[in-house]
Amino acid sequence: MTDFTMEKGADGVAVITWDVKAKSMNVLTRAAYALVDQLVEDALADPSVKGIVLTSGKETFAGGMDLNTLATISAEAGDDPAQALFDFTMGGHQILRKLERAGMDPKTNKGGKPVAVAITGTCAGIGTEIALACHRRFMADNPKAKIGLPEILVGLFPGGGGTTRYSRMVGAMAAAPVLLEGKMLDPKAAKAAGLIDEVVAPDQLLVRAREWVLSATDAEIVKPWDQKGWKMPGGAPYHPAGFMTFVGASAMINGKTKGVYPAAKALLSAVYEGALVDFDTALRIEARWFTHILMHPSSSAMIRSLFLNKEALEKGANRPALPAEQVTKLGVIGAGMMGAGIAYVSANAGIEVVLIDATLEAAERGRAHAEGLLDKGMKRGKVSPEKKTQVLDRILATTDYAALAGCDLIVEAVFEDVAVKAEVTRKVLAAVGPDCIFATNTSTLPIGELAKASDRPEQFIGIHFFSPVDKMALVEIIRGAKTGDRAVAKALDYVRQIRKTPIVVQDARFFYANRCILPYVNEGIRMVAEGVSPALIENAAKLMGMPLGPLQLIDETSIDLGVKIARATKAAMGDDYPDDAVDAVVFWMAEQGRLGRKAKAGFYAYDDAGKRIGLWDGLAAKYPLAAAQPDLTQVQHRLMFVQTLEAVRALEQGVLTDIREGDVGAILGWGFAPWSGGPFSWFDMLGAPYAAARCDELAAEHGPRFACPALLREMADKGQSFYGRFGVKPQAA
Ligand code: NAD
C-alpha cells in the first residue's frame, strides 16, 4: 500500500503525498485511511518534524471516498452493518481529529505541529473533508479546478467531519450552497466561501505551504471550536438569528426535496443538533446521521444507480469485447433541433463533424445553434474565445454528401419518416467507406425497418439522444435484430467520447425510455378524463419525486407531438390500441389550440412571456371534477406503477438486458424519482409480494395495464428482489 508516502525534509517539514498509482484520481480506501493515520502519528511523534504538508502527487487532489468501500463494509458486516459503518465513520473522525489537534496540549492548546494542505487541483468529498481538518488550506490557482462536497448529489451528505467543520466555520446559512446543493467551487470562489485560505500560483504551492508551516504560531493552529467561548457563526439554533436560519432552512429543504431525499434532512439535523453541543459530540452526532443515511434504502439505491452503476455503464460494462473504436470524423444528417445538438456535443468533444441538411441555409442554422450555445458558455465564463473558434471550426455545414468521405460514424436525424430516412441512408452509404457505422436517432421507428435501406445491416444501429442534447446525459443505443457487435462497440465508444451515459436496449416499440414515459403522461391525462383534480395529479407526482407532473410534461413536449404519436401508435397497433380515453382529452386540447408551452396554452395557463401561471381553469368545464377524489397514495401508485411495470415488461421481453441500465436510464432519461434509485430499485423497496398484490388491486380497479407481469409474480412467490436476482455485486476495495 503506497497510496500515501511521507518524506521528511531537512527543514523539518514532513510532506505526505497522496498518489493512488492505479487510478487517475485519488480515492480513499479503508487501507489508505489506516496508512495516513500511521504516517500522521509518526510525524507527530518524531521530534525532528516541525510540521506537516499534505499534498497530492497528481494534478488533481482527490475524487473522494471510494464508494465501493462503504458498500463492502456493509456487505461484510454480517447482521450488524450499521455498527460496522458507524465504527468506520468514527474511526475516520479520530484520524482527522488527531491531525487537527496535531499533538497540542488539550488544556493549553499549545505545542501542536502545524498542518497545511497543498491542494493541487480538483478536490471533492473526503478529500475536502481531510483538507478542512488541516490548519491552513492552499490551493493552486487553476480556474478549471473545483473544490467542494458533492455527496448530497448521490444521496449522501459529508460524513467525514465536513458537515460539522464547514458549518462551524462559516455558519449554517453560508454553508448551504456547498453542503446542501453540493456546489463545486473554483479556487477564487472557494476562498470567498471560506473553504480554502489562499490561492497560490501552482509552482509556489508547496513553497508557500512549507513557509506557513515553519512560521505558524500556536494560536494560528487552534481551530475556533477548540477555543474557549466559541460561538456558532450566524447563531446556534436557540439564538434569535440562528432560529430564523434553521426554520428557513428546514422549509427550504422540504420545499425543494418534497421530503423524499432523506440525506438533505439528515444533513440539516446533524448541523442543528451538532450546533448545540461540543465539537467531539457533534462529530458523533454527524456519524450517527451518516450511518442512518448509509443504511437508508434510498441512499444505497441512489449510490448504486447514480454513482457505481452509472460509472460502470460509462466504462463499458455492456460493451462487446472488441478493439477500441474512436470516432474521428462524424457525419450528422439533418441539422434540426436534434442534429444541431448532436453536432455541437460531438465537436465539443474534439470530433470533426460534417453537418448536412437539405438546404445550405438549414445546415448553417444548425451550426449557428452550436454557436449560440458556445456564446452562452462564453457569457458564463465557461468557454474561451479560442475554444469557441476551435469547436466551430470542427463543424462543416454543407449539403454535399461527398464531404462525408472519411467519416467513420454517421448519425441521421432527419424527419421521422421511413421514406425520407431510407433515401438519406442510401445517399450516405454511397458516399462513405465500407467500415462506416450508420446510426439513426429515430425515436419511434423500428431499427430493423430502417436498416432495410442499408446493404450492411450489421453496421446499422440506433443512437437515440434526448432533447435538449447538450443537457441530457442519457443516450439509448438500440440494437436491431441484425446489428453486429462492432456497431454496438463503436456506438458505446462514441457516447463515451462525448461524455454521456449509455444504455443498450433491443429494438422494440419506443425502445426503453419513451416506452415508460408515455404511460406516465397518459395515466395523468386519463385521470383528468375521470374527473381527478389536475392539482392532485401534478402534486402527487412531485411528492413522489418526479421532476415534472404528467400534465406539465406533455405541455413541455407539446400536445401536437402527443397527437402525432397517438395516431401513429394506433395505426400500428390496430384493435389492441389501449389509449382511446387518453386521446379524447389530447385531441380535444389540440382542437382548442392548447398545444402546450410553445403555444402559451396547454394544461397550464401561461403569461405573455411564456411563464406558467397555474393550471388552466377552462379544463374543468369540459372535465368537471368528480365528487369523490382518490387519495394521494392511490394517485401516486397509478403514476408510478404504469412506469415501473413497463420497465419490468421491458426486462421480461429482453428489451432491457441489465436492470442497472433500466434504473440509470430511467433517472437520466426522464428524471424518474432519483431518490428511489430507479424503477427496479423502487420495486425492491416495496418488495415483490407487496408490488404484486398492488398490481392485482390496481388492475381490478383501473384495467389490465396494471396486470402483474409473470416475472414479478414469480419473484413475489419466491421472495426475490430484482437486485438479488439480477444485480451485480459490488467489487471489494
Ligand atoms: P427537426 O424537424 O427539428 O429537424 C429535422 C431536420 O432534418 C430539418 O432541419 C430538416 O430540414 C432536415 N431534413 C429533412 N429531410 C432531409 C433530407 N432529405 N436530407 C437532409 N436533411 C433533411 O426534427 P428533430 O426534432 O431534430 O428530430 C430529428 C430526428 O430525431 C427524428 O427522427 C426524431 O424522431 C428524432 N428525435 C427527436 C427528439 C426530439 O425531442 N425532438 C428526440 C429524440 C429523437
The CATH code of the domain that includes 632 is 1.10.1040.50
Residue 730: pLDDT over 60 = no
DSSP helix/strand/coil, 52? strand
The whole-number average pLDDT for the span 412-438 is 97
User: What is the identity of the amino acid at 427?
Assistant: K
Q: Ligand 1 mean position to 338 CA, how many Å?
A: 6
Residue 381: per-residue pLDDT:
84
Asked if the structure places residue 312 within a domain, the reply is no
Please give the Cα distance from 287 to 92 (Å, whole number): 10
The H or E element containing residue 606 is: strand 604-606
Asked if the structure places residue 302 within a domain, the reply is no
- Grid cell in block for residue 44: 507527530
Q: Are residues 446 and 519 in the same domain?
A: no
Q: Ligand 1 mean position to 425 CA, how many Å?
A: 14
Question: Given 241, 274, 295, which residue is the final one in a domain?
Answer: 295
Asked if the structure places residue 316 within a domain, the reply is no
Pocket test for ligand 1, best of 359, 400, 414 (most atoms within 8 A of CB): 414
Residue 731: pLDDT over 70 = no
Please give the Cα distance from 15 to 5 (Å, whole number): 8
Q: Ligand 1 mean position to 445 CA, how many Å?
A: 13
The whole-number average pLDDT for the span 388-412 is 98
Residue 732: per-residue pLDDT:
43
Pocket test for ligand 1, best of 337, 342, 355, 472 (most atoms within 8 A of CB): 337
Structural domain boundaries, residue 185: 4-295
Residue 286: per-residue pLDDT:
98
Q: Ligand 1 mean position to 337 CA, how many Å?
A: 7
Question: Given 274, 295, 316, which residue is the final one in a domain?
Answer: 295
The whole-number average pLDDT for the span 441-448 is 95
Q: Are residues 483 and 531 in the same domain?
A: no
- Grid cell in block for residue 174: 453560508
Q: Which residue's CA is the closest to the ligand 1 atom numbered 1?
A: 336
Please give the Cα distance from 704 to 716 (Å, whole number): 19
Asked if the structure places residue 313 within a domain, the reply is no
Q: Are residues 428 and 526 in the same domain?
A: no
Residue 733: pLDDT over 50 = no
Please give the Cα distance from 166 to 169 (Å, whole number): 5
Asked if the structure places residue 317 within a domain, the reply is no
Non-local (6+) Cβ contacts of 408 within 8 A are 325, 327, 328, 329, 330, 433, 435, 436, 437, 490
Residue 729: per-residue pLDDT:
59
Q: Ligand 1 mean position to 440 CA, how many Å?
A: 10
Using the atom order of ligand 1, give the atom closest to the CA of residue 341.
Answer: 26
Q: Are residues 146 and 247 in the same domain?
A: yes
The CATH number of the domain where 362 resides is what? Answer: 3.40.50.720
Using the atom order of ligand 1, give the atom closest to the CA of residue 420.
Answer: 18
The whole-number average pLDDT for the span 590-607 is 97
Please write the tens of the pLDDT for every residue from 219-261: 999 999 999 999 999 999 999 988 998 998 889 888 888 889 9
Residue 218: pLDDT over 90 = yes
Residue 382: per-residue pLDDT:
85
Pocket test for ligand 1, best of 333, 342, 357, 512 (most atoms within 8 A of CB): 357
Please name which of 152, 317, 269 lies closest in space to residue 731, comparing C-alpha atoms: 317
The whole-number average pLDDT for the span 675-682 is 97
Which residues form ligand 1's pocket by a CB distance below 6 Å? 333-339, 356-358, 362, 413-416, 420, 424, 441-443, 464-465, 467
Please give the Cα distance from 545 to 261 (Å, whole number): 9
Residue 255: per-residue pLDDT:
87
Residue 507: per-residue pLDDT:
97
Q: Are residues 497 and 561 in the same domain?
A: no
Asked if the structure places residue 191 within a domain, the reply is yes
Q: Are residues 492 and 529 in the same domain?
A: no
Q: Are residues 501 and 536 in the same domain?
A: no
Q: Ligand 1 mean position to 660 CA, how many Å?
A: 30
Q: Which residue's CA is the closest to the ligand 1 atom numbered 42?
A: 466
Asked if the structure places residue 306 within a domain, the reply is no
Please write the tens of the pLDDT for every residue from 277-324: 999 999 999 999 999 999 999 988 998 999 899 999 999 999 999 999
The whole-number average pLDDT for the span 536-560 is 96
Total structural domains in the chain?
3
Q: Ligand 1 mean position to 388 CA, how many Å?
A: 25
What mean pLDDT is reported for the chain? 95
Using the atom order of ligand 1, give the atom closest to the CA of residue 423.
Answer: 18
Non-local (6+) Cβ contacts of 636 within 8 A are 540, 541, 543, 544
Using the atom order of ligand 1, give the atom closest to the CA of residue 421.
Answer: 18
Q: Ligand 1 mean position to 442 CA, how many Å?
A: 9
Residue 365: pLDDT over 90 = yes
Q: Are residues 452 and 570 in the same domain?
A: no
Q: Which residue's CA is the closest to the ligand 1 atom numbered 35?
A: 442
Residue 471: per-residue pLDDT:
96
Q: Which residue's CA is the closest to the ligand 1 atom numbered 39?
A: 467
Using the atom order of ligand 1, give the atom closest to the CA of residue 399.
Answer: 20
Q: Are residues 224 and 367 in the same domain?
A: no
Please give the Cα distance from 381 to 165 (Å, whole number): 31
* pTM flag (> 0.85): yes
Q: Ligand 1 mean position to 443 CA, how many Å?
A: 10
Q: Are residues 18 and 138 in the same domain?
A: yes
The whole-number average pLDDT for the span 600-629 is 96
Question: Given 270, 295, 320, which residue is the final one in a domain?
Answer: 295
Asked if the structure places residue 714 within a domain, the reply is yes
Residue 70: per-residue pLDDT:
84
What CA–CA distances, in Å, run from 241 to 24, 277, 340? Answer: 45, 18, 51
For residue 210, is it left (φ>0), alpha (ψ between -120 and 50) or beta? alpha
Q: Which residue's CA is the closest to the ligand 1 atom numbered 44?
A: 443
Please write the tens of the pLDDT for every residue from 458-467: 999 999 999 9
Please give the Cα distance from 581 to 479 (Å, whole number): 33
Q: Are residues 632 and 670 in the same domain?
A: yes
- Grid cell in block for residue 461: 444501429
Please write the tens of the pLDDT for every residue from 98-144: 999 999 999 999 999 999 999 999 999 999 999 999 999 999 999 88
Residue 615: pLDDT over 50 = yes
Q: Are residues 251 and 345 in the same domain?
A: no
What CA–CA distances, in Å, run from 529 to 173, 522, 580, 586? Answer: 45, 11, 11, 10
Q: Ligand 1 mean position to 162 CA, how many Å?
A: 48
